[in-house]
Amino acid sequence: MQRQGSTRQASGYNQPRSKAGNGPRRKGTPLILALLLVVGWAISFADVTAVDAEAFSKKIGASFHWFPVQKSFIMVADKDTAKFAIGLPFAYVNGESLDLSASPVLEDGHLWIAEYDANRIFQKAKPASSSSTAASSSAVKNTTAQAAKSSASNKTTAPKNETAGTREVKTIVIDPGHGGKDSGALGKNSQEKDIVLSIGKLVKKALEKEGFNVKMTRDKDVFIELGQRANLANQWDGDLFISLHCNAIDATPERKKQIRGYHVYVLRAPESEEDKAIARRENKVATLYGEKNAKEELSPIEWFKLEARLEKYKQNSYMFTEEMLKALDGGKIKRQAGGVGGAGFMVLVGALMPAVLFEIGFISNLEDEAYMMSKDGQADIAARIAKAVSTYKEAVHSYRETLGR
């Protein structure tokens, strides 16, 4: 099987199998170990065909994530999850240890694994065998054969179309919540849809000054369905999706006075009733206006299906959340207890990029409301969001540098 642009002969890729002895102590009878060492000797002389793990993931529709600190990476396909680490001759596939025909290496800014391993893990090309020795023997034959076949096109090409989160940050999608017939939460003197639109426009202006390409799901008072917002963001191929909202609580005046502050939300299974309630409120518009596939909560099975896709953007969504917390620190509107939450926000479900939902403050609290309505308040909040985007861009850039890109 020839892989254009993602296959190559990695010089120095061959890892003597005896290196396995340096790894953690693992189960196995002495006989099997001895056989593995013999086989390993053969492998160290064979030419192993390597594939770029990230490009391979993309090709099979799996998500890919690199953890620079742990020097490990994960590939999540529909049915199989595999964890690899640089220099370790085994991987964890669906929680079980699996011997690799060669250890993954980091070279030229790319993570390389043996094509044979990639195929047998993700395409079930694993040869039928009655013992691990037989499987390993096939590995030698197979990789040597692969090497012979691909030696004609010995080239390295960086994967094109890097996904949002791993590539440089350029396009920011600002999503002012609600609009038109959907006013969002109501304050004493304001409506959520107006506040988030004003602040969204200011964020756009600030980011454009910094050289970002900025798109808005709405730049006027119009109604847009929740699902359509993510669709737009995907069409624009955004690198980051920021949905702007105002929080609200339906309670006694005394309680409204107490409950205030901002909150940054990512898409994940909710961990508290409060988070669930906020998602239900923000999702209500879809059921209220008869949006297709509208629902206020995701079922456990829907969460399960969503998880593999989320894995791809989760780390970056949290990275941006961290930058938001730093930028908002010291502002007039304080962080609400915890400051970070997760729930099933429908507006984030379809976005194929790192995404957060920012509840700027409580419109039901008079002080928060006044600040969010004021010219100075809006300018300050917008500047802080823009600052968070800039530092996030730098963080992603540094992350890429750990890969030598």
- Residue 65 CB, shortest distance to Zn ion, in Å, is 30
Least Cβ distance, residue 382 to Zn ion (angstroms):
17
Angle between helix 375-402 and 300-328 (nearest 10): 110
Rounded to the nearest 10°, the torsion over CA 273, 279, 280, 283 is -170
Please identify, using beta-carbon distances, which residue of 36 and 347 lies nearer to Zn ion: 347
Which CB, 89 or 361, lies closer to Zn ion? 361
Least Cβ distance, residue 246 to Zn ion (angstroms): 6
- Residue 177 or 361: the one with the smaller Cβ distance to Zn ion is 177
* Nearest distance from C-beta of residue 395 to Zn ion, angstroms: 27
Q: Output 104 or 177, the one with its CB closest to Zn ion.
A: 177
Strands across the sheet containing 49-52:
7-9, 49-52, 110-114, 105-107
Q: Which is nearer to Zn ion, 177 or 354 (CB)?
A: 177
In 3-state terms, what secondary structure has residue 300? helix
CB closer to Zn ion out of 177 and 179: 177
How far apart (Å, rounded) are the C-alpha atoms in residues 253 and 109?
57
Instruction: Please state, in angstroms and rounded to a whole number, the distance separating the CA atoms of residues 242 and 316.
Output: 13
What is the rounded distance in angstroms from the CA atom of residue 389 to the CA atom of residue 207?
8
Pick 127 or 180: Cβ nearer Zn ion = 180
Give the Cα separation of 262 and 296 in Å (integer): 22
Residue 170 forms beta bridges with which residues?
none
Residue 309 beta carbon to Zn ion: minimum distance, rounded to whole angstroms: 24
| Token pair 């930058």: residue | 323
Nearest distance in Å: CB 331, Zn ion: 20
Question: Left, alpha or beta for 262 (phi > 0: left; psi -120 to 50: alpha)?
Answer: beta
3 state DSSP class of 172: strand
Q: How many CB atoms lie within 10 A of CB 296?
A: 17
**Which residue has the closest beta carbon to Zn ion?**
245
Least distance from Zn ion to the Cβ atom of residue 244, Å = 8
* Residue with smaller CB distance to Zn ion, 89 or 184: 184
Note every long-range contact of 400-404, with CB atoms under 8 Å and residues 24 or more positions apart, other chains counting: 400/166, 400/167, 400/168, 402/68, 403/66, 403/68, 403/106, 403/109, 403/110, 403/111, 404/106, 404/108, 404/109
Residues that bind Zn ion (CB under 5 A): 177, 184, 245, 282
| Token pair listed for 248 | 């609200």
Structure tokens at 197: 């639109």
In whole angstroms, how close is the CB of 245 to Zn ion at the nearest point?
Answer: 3
Is the Cβ of residue 167 or residue 280 nearer to Zn ion in the bound state?
280
* Least distance (Å) between residue 7 CB and Zn ion: 48
